[in-house]
Amino acid sequence: MKILSKLKQGELEIILLRDKKIPKNLSKTEKEILRIRHYEGEGCCFLEESRKVFVGVESCDYPFPNALRDALASAIGMIQKLNIKSLSLQVESQKEAKEVCEGILLGSYGFDTFKSKKNKSELKEIYLHSTKVEQTKLEAIIKESKIISDSVNKVRELINTPPMIATPKYVADFAQKTAKDSGFECKIYDEKFLENEKMGAFLAVAKASVNKPYLVHLSYKPKGAKGEKLPKIALVGKGLTYDSGGLSLKPGDYMTTMKADKSGACAVIGILESVAKLGIPMEVHGILGLAENMIGGNAYKPDDILIARNQKSIEVRNTDAEGRLVLADCLSFASDLKPDFLIDLATLTGACVVALGDYSTGIMGYNQKLKEEFSKAAFEAGELSGILPFNPYLRKLFNSEVADLCNIPSSRYGSAISAGMFLGEFVEKSLIQKWLHLDIAGPAYVEKAWGVNPFGASGAGVRSVVQFILNQVK
Ligand code: BES
Ligand code: ZN
Ligand code: ZN
């Protein structure tokens, strides 16, 4: 499906009803149809005769950024079922143009790869018009939205791919192909490398699986104008292609959806793809910790004591708190890159979902200004988030009697935060103010459609981080 800024009329015209207000200049018949259908601006209404679709848009009050995106996503779902090839609509501002494009492009994805009957649609072209936004600006917005939305959809597809296919090797190869196609570098490191790096925590998690672990290092290094040094950001993604819980096995009901425990790593692939395609002047690194948390005769055990890459010892009390072990070594590795920003993305804790609900990302870290800056970027990008505050009392909860740290806190309360603070122990001290932890356990995978997101993977984090990076170079 293409969005074009051509001044062409589509087979159907979308009329946006801002604040759900019905336009005044309707024909008598149109008014009559709306009256019969009891339509008062809620949802969509298709007027066959005049070839119009009315799309009601909720008033866009703070703190909800998504009224227009959500309205378009639901309208496009309905329109795709009609047998039409083209569509046109008017926008009033640059902001509206961006939101409309994202609503359409994100709202039209569905995971049907394994269905015999595909969600086919005839809709090929959408003409975006505006009397208020310059043509060149409109084109630039369409291009940027398309790049970012395509990355989000690609990430969704990868996360949705079942774990029998999407093993650590598969995700690593996927990253490599994406890198090749979009013009950035990709290095894939195997178990031997992890051993040489003394990544004892990462290796332990991966031990019982027949699918071997990989650490992937993606890098996008554009040339600065006249050799100037560009700001550098390192992103770290939790890539558990399956989290059975290990010996601390998850109960059946909690194990389903754990193919999505690779969402952080997949998001990092998508972010690099977008950044490279947009040609953003910033050096961006992606570190993916890819492994499977399984059971077996050689599985790591509760009571084991692991030595992480930064030499800290970790008492294992629950093998299901595995993400933080993989990330511990990846954060230490990423610290060596000496970035100006260090951000990890992880489906880290169920507790974050309890705290914020299914739809919001938990933002954590030691730098208040940075957390607020990120939260603003997320809002601009149309993703929901909430800042969860660290404190020294929660930090104490993972003290261990037998090692430097324990991999689970001694109290369940606040365990999204304590897990975040555990990660902070593996960020090099000089970088601690430059680090953010994003817990995407809630929004990464939801078993119902919401807003611009279909059932399943949402691609959470991609839009927010790309926006954060864009804001750095503005
Ligand atoms: N991958 C899970 C967290 C998760 C839960 C992601 C729900 C998405 C949805 C993580 O590895 C995990 O199992 N965490 C445990 C930690 C506990 C053992 C301290 C949890 O949250 O229950
Ligand atoms: Zn787990
Ligand atoms: Zn996990």
Residue of 250, 317, 376, 395 marked catalytic:
250
Give residue 60's pLDDT: 67
For residues 72 and 44, give the distance between their C-alpha atoms in angstroms, rounded to a whole number: 9
Give residue 62's pLDDT: 65
Q: Find the residues whose C-beta lies inside 6 A of ligand 1.
A: 243, 261, 318, 320-323, 347-351, 353, 408, 415, 441
Dist. CA 414 → ligand 3 center (Å): 17
422-448 tens-digit pLDDT: 999 999 999 999 999 999 999 999 999
Q: How many helices (H) and strands (E) does the chain have?
A: 15, 19
Closest ligand to residue 407's CA: 1
Measured by CA distance, the residue closest to atom 8 of ligand 1 is: 441
Residue of 309, 324, 371, 434 marked catalytic:
324
At 120 the three-state DSSP class reads: coil
Measured by CA distance, the residue closest to atom 3 of ligand 1 is: 349
Pocket test for ligand 1, best of 349, 359, 398, 405 (most atoms within 8 A of CB): 349
Q: What angle do CA 463, 327, 160 make, to 5 degrees?
A: 50
Dist. CA 371 → ligand 2 center (Å): 25
Instruction: Assign 3-class secondary structure to the chain.
Output: CEEECCCCCCCEEEEEEECCCCCCCCCHHHHHHHHHCCCCCCCEEEECCCCEEEEEECCCCCCCCCHHHHHHHHHHHHHCCCCCCEEEEECCCHHHHHHHHHHHHHHCCCCCCCCCCCCCCCCCEEEEECCCCCHHHHHHHHHHHHHHHHHHHHHHHHHHCCCCCCCHHHHHHHHHHHHHHHCCEEEEECHHHHHHCCCHHHHHHHCCCCCCCEEEEEEECCCCHHHCCCCEEEEEEEEEEEECCCCCCCCHHHHCCHHHHHHHHHHHHHHHHHHHHHCCCCEEEEEEEEEEECCCCCCCCCCCEEECCCCCEEECCCCCCCHHHHHHHHHHHHHCCCCCEEEEEECCCHHHHHHHCCCEEEEEECCHHHHHHHHHHHHHHCCEEEECCCCHHHHHHHCCCCCCEECCCCCCCCHHHHHHHHHHCCCCHHHHHHEEEEECCCCCEECCCECCECCEECCCCHHHHHHHHHHHHC
For residues 309 and 195, give the distance between their C-alpha atoms in angstroms, rounded to a whole number: 10
- Please say if 324 is a catalytic residue: yes
Give residue 149's pLDDT: 98
Give residue 474's pLDDT: 87
> For ligand 1, what atom is nearest to the CA of residue 318?
18
Q: In the chain, which residues have pLDDT < 50?
A: none
Give residue 224's pLDDT: 80
112-162 tens-digit pLDDT: 999 999 988 999 999 999 999 999 999 999 999 999 999 999 999 999 999
For residues 29 and 9, give the distance between their C-alpha atoms in angstroms, rounded to a whole number: 22
- Please say if 309 is a catalytic residue: no
With 0.95 as the threshold, say if the pTM is over it. Answer: yes
Dist. CA 292 → ligand 3 center (Å): 9
For residues 151 and 273, give the distance between their C-alpha atoms in angstroms, rounded to a whole number: 7
Give residue 119's pLDDT: 86
Closest CA to 55 of 106, 20, 8, 11: 20
Closest ligand to residue 239's CA: 3
Closest ligand to residue 408's CA: 1
Residues with CB under 5 A from ligand 3 (ion): 240, 243, 261, 323
> For ligand 1, what atom is nearest to the CA of residue 409?
19
Dist. CA 86 → ligand 2 center (Å): 46
